[in-house]
Structure 1
Amino acid sequence: MTATTTTTGPEPSASPDLSKPVGDPPLLEVRNLTVTYGGTVPAVRGVDLRVEAGQKLGIAGESGCGKSTLALALLRLLPATAKLTGEILLDGEDVLTMKWGRLRAVRWAGASIVFQGAMHSLNAVHRVGDQIAEPILLHNAKATPAAARKRAGELLEQVGLPAARAQAYPHELSGGQRQRVMIAMALACDPRLIIADEPTTALDVMIQAQILRLIEQLVADQDVGLIMISHDLAVLADTCDRLSVMYAGRVVEEGPARQVYAEARHPYGRALSAAFPRIGDLASRRAPRGLPGDPPDPAALPGGCTFHPRCPVALDSCATEDQELREAGGERRAACVLVDAPAADDSRSTS
Structure 2
Amino acid sequence: MSLLDVRDLTVTYAGGAAAVRGVDLRLEAGRKLGIAGESGCGKSTLALALLRLLPAGTRTGGQILLDGEDVLTMKWGRVRAVRWAGASIVFQGAMHSLNPVHRIGDQIAEPILLHRRATPAGARRKAGELLEHVGLPAARATDHPHELSGGQRQRVMIAMALACDPRLIIADEPTTALDVMIQAQILRLIEQLVADQDVGLIMISHDLAVLADTCDRLAVMYAGRVVEEGPAGQVHEAARHPYARALSAAFPRIGDPASRFAPRGLAGDPPDPFALPAGCAFHPRCPVALESCAVEDQALRPAGPGRRAACVRVAEDTSGDTRAHEPERHGPERQGPGAHVPEPQESSPQEPGPREPGPRSLEEVRRTTP
Q: Is TM-score (shorter-chain normalized) higher than 0.5?
A: yes
Matched with 2:61 is: 85
Relative to structure 1, the CA distance from residue 293 to residue 283 in structure 2 (aligned partners, 3 Å threshold; closer, same or farther) is closer
Matched with 1:130 is: 106
Q: Is the 8 A contact 2:253 2:259 kept in 1?
A: no
Q: After superposition, where does 1:269-284 map in structure 2 within 5 Å?
A: 269-281=244-256
Among 183, 201, 211, the residue aligned to 1:236: 211
Matched with 1:215 is: 190
Aligned residue type for 2:167: R
Secondary structure in 2 matching 1:338: helix
Matched with 1:349 is: 337
Deviation at 1:277, TM superposition (A): 1.8
Matched with 2:132 is: 157
Secondary structure in 2 matching 1:147: helix
Among 142, 157, 182, the residue aligned to 1:182: 157
- State the distance in 1 between where 2:231 and 2:45 align: 23
Secondary structure in 2 matching 1:299: coil
Matched with 1:19 is: none
Matched with 1:12 is: none
- State the distance in 2 between where 1:102 and 1:256 align: 34
Aligned residue type for 2:297: D
For structure 2, the residue ranges without an aligned partner over 5 or more in a row are 327-334, 340-370
Among 74, 96, 116, the residue aligned to 2:72: 96
Q: Percent identity?
A: 82
Deviation at 1:149, TM superposition (A): 0.7
Matched with 1:13 is: none
Aligned residue type for 1:262: E
TM-score (norm 1): 0.90
Matched, 1:74 2:50: yes
Deviation digits for residues 213-249 of structure 1 (CA, Å, limit 9, x no counterpart): 0000000000000000011111000000000000000
Deviation digits for residues 196-215 of structure 1 (CA, Å, limit 9, x no counterpart): 00000000111000000000
Among 279, 295, 310, the residue aligned to 2:270: 295
For structure 1, the residue ranges without an aligned partner over 5 or more in a row are 1-24
RMSD, matched Cα: 1.5
Matched with 1:114 is: 90
Matched with 1:3 is: none
Structure with the larger RCO, 1 or 2 (CA within 8 Å, 6+ apart): 1
- State the distance in 2 between where 1:289 and 1:121 align: 35
- State the distance in 1 between where 2:18 and 2:207 align: 24
- State the distance in 2 between where 1:81 and 1:229 align: 25
Aligned residue type for 1:135: P
Matched with 1:37 is: 13
Mean CA deviation greater in 338-347 or 30-39: 338-347
Matched with 1:22 is: none
